Amino acid sequence: MDATAKPLRIPPEMRIYAEQHGLFDLMQAMVKRLLVDKPEDPIDYLIDLLKNNSIEVPRIFVLGPPASGKRTVVKQLCKHLGATRISMESLLMEESDLVKEALEYKTNEQGWVFEGFPKTREQAFQLQAAGVAPEHVVLLDAPDTVLIERNLGKRIDPVTGDVYHTSFNWPSSDHVEKRLVEASGIWESETVARLLEYQRHRKGLESTYSTVSRVINADQPSIDVFSQVLTFVLSRHRSVAPHTPRILLHGPPASGKSLQAALIAQKYNIVNICCGQVLKAVAADETSQGELIKPCLETGQQVPDSVVLKILTESLSRLDCTTRGWVLHGCPRNLEQAEKLNSAGFTPNRVFFLDMPDEVAVERVTFRMTDPVTGQRYHSLYKAAPSQQIQERLQMNPRDSAERLQRRLDRYRTNLPELQELYSDAVYVNADQDPHAIFELLESHIVNRLPRPISHRWTASSSD
């Protein structure tokens, strides 16, 4: 079809289904696995991948200098994600070639976490050539003086393989304490030699995995190190899949929804849909629908949900909204409206709750007034009128009175829990801060993909 003669319109429900189920990324991942593994029967191979749910499993390298905490991080990751731990010890058990032995793990259905391997750029190239490619590479880093001090106090439990330290992590059990032994290669001269060896190959490894790696400071409490590592491995890399922004901003009165929506729409060229402005535009038209809602707007009453949703879905169905995307605010106000929007095919893929205390909303609203001559809005605390003449003619919108604002806040707080439950993946933003800081936070969640959800398989062993 010639799109210049008649634009090809894809039904919204098709795009939403594809995005919700990750069909574009799924196709990309399957084609990638086919090209890497080159199976004799591609169809059976793909069927097995889908049956075993082994397309998106953890594939992680944890690299770093001696005493940087690789073993601790890897054990925690494997416990949390249910993945297989692969260490140098396990690869050398049968004195086989490291790379060949590592290849046996590439089809592991639970995923894997490599500990301290590969050690060189050449080993990394051999793994890549054989189809062993990590999704995430963690590069732990710390000053040499810290690493040398850590290594001197390192002790190993020969039964469990757990690592302890005379200063930082001593076992609470006397039984475990008695069986601890000194780790091999802990003396300063040996540690320095190993550090020099690591530094010699570090740049090569960093350049090899530059697009999938992150350097994490290991000179901090282990719980903080693991938190940063887990956040990184659960993140997903930039996708080339087509993406139409459908953004919902929800928050109490005066939380800045209109300003943030305008900034987002301007920067990303998407349609700004303000429910209140849409209703006012319809009321200004001499149509039966406009005549129906005009009395409600003039008296401050709520427009019936059925009318609001009918008008709103008509706006969201326009070609510019379906092709460029939209940012919606002012609706839905309650669970019923939200469910009806979803059932109509207008499901947001980014939801933000702009939250702030009620007293801040009262301060922002009840002290603002408007100049009836210029239409300029002023605020007694933040933006006072520039002259006494303007100050004297300022008028307050009856909608901004303390009583009416409190009713709006009460309605918002009443409906909030049900909306929060419906939008369980929403991002919460503190709206009581600089608007540009808020916009930067919103933008980071709009541009970047949402974190990878932890499936039941990944959490199977984390509850132990």
> 97-126: per-residue pLDDT in tens?
555 555 555 555 678 899 998 999 999 998
Question: Under DSSP, is residue 427 helix (H, G, I), strand (E, B) or coil?
Answer: strand
Spatial distance between the Cα atoms of 248 and 260, rounded to a whole number of angstroms = 11
- pLDDT at residue 201 greater than cutoff 90: yes
Query: 377 falls in which pLDDT band (50, 70, 90)?
Result: confident
| pLDDT confidence of residue 460 | 40
Residue 91: the pLDDT is: 58
Does position 179 have pLDDT exceeding 90, yes or no?
A: no
Same domain, 211 and 341: no
What pLDDT does residue 438 have?
Answer: 94
- Average pLDDT estimate for 23-47: 83
Query: Quick one: how far is CA 120 from the chain centroid?
Result: 32
- Residue 127 inside a domain? The answer is yes
Residue 204 lies in a domain: yes
Per this entry, what is the length of the chain? 464
Q: Under a CB-based contact definition with an 8 Å cutoff, are residues 252 and 331 in contact?
A: no
**pLDDT for 20:** 74
Q: Could you list the residue range(s) of the whole structural domain that residue 349 is in?
A: 246-275+318-447
Model pLDDT, residue 461: 40
Assess whether pLDDT exceeds 60 at residue 463: no
Across 281-290, 381-390, 432-441, the highest mean pLDDT is recorded for: 432-441
From 167, 202, 234, the end of a domain falls on 234
CATH code, domain carrying 228: 3.40.50.300
Is the pTM higher than 0.95? The answer reads no
Per-residue pLDDT averaged across 272-278, rounded?
A: 90
Give me 403's structure tokens.
């009583």
Angle made by CA atoms 165, 167, 173, in degrees to the nearest 5: 60
Number of domains in the chain: 2
Mean of pLDDT over the chain = 81
Cis peptide bond upstream of 118, omega within 30: yes
Residues 6+ apart with CB under 8 A from 273: 312, 315, 316, 321, 326, 327, 328, 329
- Report yes or no: 191 and 199 within 8 Å, Cβ to Cβ: no
334 and 409 fall within a common domain: yes
Determine the Cα–Cα distance for residues 153 and 186; give it in Å rounded to an integer: 8
Per DSSP bridges, beta strands 350-355 and 246-250 are parallel
Please report, rounded to a whole number, the percentage of residues in the chain having pLDDT higher than 90: 29
What's the DSSP call for residue 123?
Answer: H
Domain membership of residue 407 (yes or no) is yes
Identity of the highest mean pLDDT range in 27-36, 138-147, 182-191, 370-379: 138-147
Do 223 and 142 lie in one domain? The reply is: yes
Per-residue pLDDT averaged across 5-12, rounded? 59
Confidence at residue 464, expressed as pLDDT on a 0 to 100 scale: 37
Question: Do 149 and 81 fall within a single domain?
Answer: yes
Q: 213 and 323 share a domain?
A: no
One domain, residues 224 and 327? no
Confidence of residue 12 (pLDDT cuts 50, 70, 90): low
81, pLDDT greater than 70: yes
pLDDT above 80 (res 454): no
Rounded CA-CA distance 359/402 in Å is 11
On whether residue 359 sits in a domain, the answer given is yes
pLDDT value, residue 95: 46
Do 217 and 263 sit in the same domain of this protein? no
Structure tokens at 368: 């603002």
Query: Which pairing describes strands 427-430 and 350-355: parallel, antiparallel, or unpaired?
Result: parallel
Concatenating the DSSP letter of every residue in 42-74 gives HHHHHHHHHHHT-SS--EEEEE-STTSSHHHHH
- Say if residue 354's pLDDT is above 90: yes
Residue 291 lies in a domain: no
- Please tell me the predicted confidence (pLDDT) of residue 306: 82
Tell whether the torsion through CA atoms of 352, 358, 361 and 363 is positive or negative.
negative
Are residues 88 and 202 located together in one domain of the fold?
Answer: yes
* pLDDT of the residue at 148: 81
Greater confidence (76 vs 20) lies with 76
In 3D, which of 6, 5, 8, 16 has the Cα closest to residue 326?
Answer: 16
- Residue 18, domain member (yes or no): no
Mean pLDDT of 431-451: 86
Q: Are residues 346 and 220 in the same domain?
A: no
% residues pLDDT > 70 (the chain) = 83
Residues 202 and 121 in one domain: yes
Asked if residue 174 and residue 100 are part of one domain, the reply reads yes
The residue with tokens 């879905």 is: 313
109 and 161 inside one domain = yes
Final residue of a domain: which of 176, 201, 234?
Answer: 234
182 lies in some domain: yes
Asked if the structure places residue 303 within a domain, the reply is no
Give phi and psi for 147, each to the nearest 5: -65, -40
